[in-house]
Structure 1
Amino acid sequence: MQRPANPRIDPAVFWIAAFASAAFVAWGILGTESLAAVFEAVLWSFLVPNFGWVFILSSFGFLAFSVYLAFSRYGKVRLGGQDEQPEFSTVSWVAMMFSAGMGIGLMFFGVAEPLSHMGAPPFGLAEPNTRGAAQVAMQYTYFHWAFHPWAIYAIMGLALAYFTFRKGMPNLISSAFYPLLGDRVYGPIGKTIDTLAIFATLFGSATSLGLGALQINQGLNAVFGIGGREAVGLAIVVIAVLTLAFVVSATSGVHRGIQWIANTNMVLAVFLLAFVFLLGPTVFILNTFTESLGAYLANIIPMSFRTASYGDSDFVSGWTIFYWAWWISWAPFVGVFIARISRGRTIREFVFGVVLAPSVVSFVWFAILGGSAIDLQLTGTANIAEIAANNQPAALFSTLQQFPLFLPMALITIILVALFFVSGADAASVVMGMLSSKGNLHPARWNIIVWGTFTGAAAAICLLSGAIQGSVDAALLALQSVAIASAAPFVLILIGLCFSILKALRAERLPDGRPAAPEPGRAMSRPSGAPAPQRMSGQNPRRDDQSRA
């Protein structure tokens, strides 16, 4: 058995990030109203109106670049040694990607987004609450949840997997900039990149945890009559309890905690979808899936370039730009996590798996849950659109109330949201531990606990602003604000990653179309004071990793 590398922290990255995170939490506790005022002035009055186009243009660029890599001659390059095999089975690989990537978001917006767009169609493309509005609603929901976000994750994950497992560099985001920065990635510039990655991870995850807590709150209200729309304080209690749960899970390791929870998530999610599909409007769901998918594919390019200048500025700012920023803020931890579980796969397999497989799941998810709610709206059975407009966290439970066996299905939904909460947050905690431990694949437990605690505290602070104002809408706005704030500087890092990946791949030797497999650490030099690369030894990387886990 090989002993894990020394999990000591990187003092510059850890302490700067920890101090800034603690300062944010303290500011939120002592000056909640002033924190909300700063977000309003900086984000919604300056950043989004003036620089929203950067998020829109870059998001399409990430999608185009990932497609290019998959179909180019570099698609055969393996993320590791040329003869290495993947650590995880394809099913577990997709399940872990999906759980970490957007599990809570799908639960929260699975009904809320399609019905919100149906009640207020973007760009005035249809009359509200009509069949035309339903088609437009599903089309834009697919746009926000399919290829674009997963392409963002693919860029980050590919860069990290390539430089860590093929080139033997430390498992840090700064390592992926070696072709552009050289040895400077081991100095202040590289540490700044890793610190920004921790901030993006922390606050992007906090946004998700806040949404999950609000939805659990509504589930408890629907089942037990406690909590409710304005009971943000209960949501903060939920965050505290589940923070403890995901810290315990994160310290148990990838193969034990995260993988088990991810697989359980997948089973429960499939059961929920099968229940709604079989007992709901099955034919309508299939028609919705087919027509909406076609509309999405036919209009993906014009949708990708719509800004707030000549259209529905509230929709673009409150939905599209928020989503692109949210995905970018998630990119560091989802990318690091995807890279961690993708060793041994080719670039082509990686891109197809990361972009296509979860996107197909998103198509099916929204077609079933959103399609069922749309049918209830169109037939006049229930006014789900009004509920989604006034109380987004309650939309899913209001839909399930129209089906038999509401009590057990509502309990399963609450458990599913809680498990998505835990699986996403513990993955983020482990990743922040890696980033603050010089890329060590097995950071110290106390390090993971610190970042897990900060994540839960940041989510609670965002909801606290809503509790003070007595409004869940204010809490949702605070969650959106923190996601956009953390993503603003990181979008530039993602753009730089694209150039760095391309420069490194062009240096690959590809004789007769077969990629060379340079020994880890040989392709890129490392100064004497730089941290040693993290590598797995032995002929079977899966066996080595399991022995350490």
Structure 2
Amino acid sequence: MKGIGKVFWISVIIAALFVLIGVIFPEPFSEGMNQANSFILNAFGWFYQLAATFFLLFALFLIFSKYGKIKLGKDKDLPDYSTLTWFAMLFSAGMGIGLVFYGVAEPISHFTTPPLGEGGTSASAKLGLRYTFLHWGFHAWAIYATIALSIAYFKFRKDAPGLMSATLYPILGEKTNGAFGKTVDIVAVFATVFGVCASLGLGAQQINGGLNYLFGIPNNFTIQLIIMAIVTVLFIVSAGTGLSKGIKYLSNTNMILATLLLFAVLFIGPTTFLLNLFTTTLGDYIQNLPSMGLRLAPFNNENAEWIEGWTIFYWAWWISWSPFVGTFIARVSKGRTVREFVIAVLLVPTLVCAFWFSVFGGTGIHMELFEGAQVSAQSFETGLFYVYKLLPFGTVLSIITILLIATFFITSADSATFVLGMQTTNGDINPPFFVKLTWGLILSASAVVLMYTGGLEGLQTAIIVSAFPLTFVLLMMAFAIVKAFRLEVKGKVPLKKTKEN
């Protein structure tokens, strides 16, 4: 089939084998994934911490370096979007199922089981929210900025394909056209698959949790499987019909619903407390950023397990998501300078995420700390709906949230099929429907297998395992972009295009 090369077929075959093994041998599959997960966490947790910190320092270096004036595009190119619209798009990249799923669940979990010290206190409330900011803040967006900057620069300024391998040309040369380049693209594909799978799995679990709270529908794997099947049909139809306007409207609807929920909870809930909590925690987060970002616990196994289960997991999740989110951010950032790009990508989504968790997590903490509610006794997928139950208009908020998760589900999966299609067809911005259909089915099947064999832990395990090799690729990309910038400053010729993969 024209435009479909080796990367697609190799990726599909490996993914299909992964799904088949998970279906035929669920217990050995789960055990093997857990062993790989434990090995990586125990042996390379320090590596993830150092890597995430490196990306943040690298982003700061770019802001203050002489390369800040370089444009992501030709010298005469102007931004495709106004600054306000661009900020909104960066905001939309940061929004997703994960924020809704963890909005209450993560801060309340850290409040009762903090990374250190006693739980259930005002001190653990501030500490827990501070670590939530860490997980969704500057480090995460520095990872996205690194890959998005590389893709945008090589795509729009050097006319290279929008592939991970193409960004490594300054340090690998023609090797990017051979087996090594194809391996890089395949690694990116699998990290993207598992990163997106986690979000789809979380979405199915939380929709089920909401339906259970509202209508008493059982909360189990069978119902989640039905939800996955329905949404899979919807996003495949969406991808196949090419209803770009429909997806655009759906994305705008996401933002409207998310903003509506955010401010509804802010003003219905303990408003002054939430604003005070956001302000003081943001200051604490910035003040303690270096120590939190490098914190491990070599002398305390319990604290070490907390860091591995939360912080290291998040670094792996963001790395696995980076080809997906990075490609999106790159596409909307043509014409921006390196400096304004990095500043915006770091600041805008970080502040939005921090405010989101302050409002939703802060409301849950206030209910438990001052009102005697049992928010921490709820499961991750039902905690948000429990909080709604204790607020005015709780049923309305629950219905809006279920609709929001469903639309996020569809748009995320639809966008993921596009990105995976592009990654496996040599950067084709209009991948064939067959390719998108194939990746849509693989995404859903992989999510179901991981949910069946390990639930939430299975999803987390797949992320950590798949992100490990991709981390090395991202580090190489950072060095490659600096080398390309040096050539840029010296007035060297554009890089060569890569061959078809």
The TM-score range, normalised by the shorter chain, is: over 0.9
Confirm or deny that 1:233 pairs with 2:222.
yes
Residues 392-420 of structure 1 show CA distances to partners (whole Å, capped at 9, x for unaligned) of 11111111111111222101000111111
**SS of residue matched to 1:525:** coil
Alignment match, 1:475: 455
Q: Verify: 1:212 aligned to 2:203, yes or no.
A: yes
In structure 2, the residue matched to 1:259 is 248
Indicate the larger mover: 486-495 or 235-244.
235-244
Residues 168/181 of structure 1: CA separation in 2 closer, same or farther (3 Å cut): same
Matched, 1:176 2:156: no
Q: Which residue of 2 aligns with 1:245?
A: 234
What does residue 195 of structure 1 align with? 186
Instruction: Trace 1:6-45 onto structure 2 (pairs within 5 A).
Output: 8-44=2-38
Q: Deviations over 1:477-527 (max 9, x none)?
A: 1011011111011000011111001000011137xxxxx7x8xxx511347
Q: Which moved more, 1:194-203 or 1:71-80?
A: 71-80
Residue in 1 that maps onto 2:257:
268
Match of 2:414 in 1: 426
SS in 2 for 1:129: coil
Contact 2:90 2:348 in 1 (8 A): no
2:429 to 429, 432, 441: 441
Following superposition of structure 1 onto structure 2, how do residues 249-328 of structure 1 map, counting pairs within 5 Å? 249-251=238-240, 256-311=245-300, 312-328=303-319
CA distance in 2, matches of 1:531, 1:16: 15
The verdict on how the C-alpha distance between 1:122 and 1:499 changes in structure 2, with shifts beyond 3 A counting, is same
Pairing of 1:139-178 with structure 2 (within 5 A): 139-178=130-169
Give the corresponding residue for 2:477. Answer: 497
Structure 1 partner of 2:495: 524
State how far apart, in whole Å, the 1-side matches of 2:478 and 2:270 are.
44
Give the Cα separation in 1 of the matches to 2:357 and 2:461.
Answer: 25
Q: Aligned to 2:450, which of 462, 471, 493?
A: 462
Contact (CA 8 Å) 1:115, 1:374: kept in 2 or not? yes
State the one-letter code of the partner of 2:109. Answer: S
* Partner SS state of residue 507, structure 1: helix
Secondary structure of 1:440's match?
coil
Work out the CA distance in 1 between the residues paired with 2:94 and 2:10. 27
Q: CA deviation at 1:255?
A: 5.1
Unaligned 5+ residue runs, structure 2? none
| Aligned residue runs from structure 1 range 268-417, under 5 A | 268-311=257-300, 312-387=303-378, 391-417=379-405
- CA deviation profile, 1:118-163 (whole Å, cap 9, x unmatched): 1011122xx2111111011111000000111111011000000000
Residues 418, 94 of structure 1: CA spacing in aligned structure 2 closer, same or farther, 3 A cutoff?
A: farther
2: CA distance, partners of 1:396 / 1:208: 17
Q: CA deviation at 1:426?
A: 1.6
Corresponding position of 2:76: 83
CA contact (8 A) 1:308 1:317 kept: no
Does the aligned pair in 2 maintain the 1:334–1:428 contact within 8 Å? no
Matched AA of 2:402: I
Q: Unpaired runs of 5+ in structure 1?
A: 1-6, 466-473, 511-515, 533-549
The answer to whether structure 1 residue 223 and structure 2 residue 214 are counterparts is yes
CA contact (8 A) 2:296 2:304 kept: yes
Q: Helix, strand or coil for the counterpart of 2:431?
A: coil
* Residue 110 of structure 1: aligned partner: 103
Seq. identity, %: 43
Pairwise CA distance, 1:168: 0.7
Distance 2:325 2:96 in 1: 12
After superposition, the C-alpha distances for 1:35-56 in whole angstroms (9 at most, x for unaligned) are 1100111211x11100111111
1:132 partner SS: helix
AA at the equivalent of 1:457: A
- After TM superposition, the runs of 4+ consecutive aligned structure 1 residues lying more than 6 A away are none
Structure 2 counterpart of 1:178, one-letter code: Y
Decide whether aligned partners of structure 1 residues 406 and 89 sit closer, same or farther in structure 2, where only a CA change above 3 A counts.
same
- Per-residue deviation, 1:186: 1.1
Provide the rounded CA distance (Å) in 2 between the counterparts of 1:15 and 1:357. Answer: 38
Q: Distance in 2 between matches of 1:29 and 1:336?
A: 31
Cα offsets for 1:47-90 (capped at 9, x unmatched): 11001111110001001101111221211111111121222344
Letter in 2 for 1:488: F
Q: Kindly tell me: are residues 526 and 359 of structure 1, through their superposed partners in 2, closer, same or farther at Cα, counting changes over 3 Å?
A: closer
Q: 1:92 to 1:213 in 2, by over 3 A?
A: farther
* Pairs aligned (count): 499
Separation (CA, whole Å) in 2 of partners of 1:416 and 1:91: 23
TM-score, normalisation: structure 2: 0.96
Maintained 8 Å contact 2:388/2:395:
no
2:119 is the counterpart of 1:128:
yes
Name the amino acid aligned to 2:41.
V
Measured on the aligned residues, the alpha-carbon RMSD in Å equals: 1.8
- 1:203 and 1:329 in contact (8 A); partners too: yes
Say which SS state the counterpart of residue 310 (structure 1) adopts. coil
Tell me, yes or no, if the aligned pair for 1:100 and 1:427 is still in contact at 8 Å. Answer: no
- After TM superposition, give the deviation of residue 286 of structure 1 in Å: 0.7
Provide the rounded CA distance (Å) in 1 between the counterparts of 2:341 and 2:312. Answer: 26
Distance (Å, rounded) in 1 between the aligned partners of 2:222 and 2:145: 37
Give the C-alpha shift of residue 320 in structure 1: 0.5
User: How far 1:257 sits from its partner (Å)?
Assistant: 4.4
Work out the CA distance in 1 between the residues paired with 2:273 and 2:330: 38
**Alpha-carbon deviation of 1:238?**
1.1
The reply on whether 1:484 has 2:464 as its aligned counterpart is yes
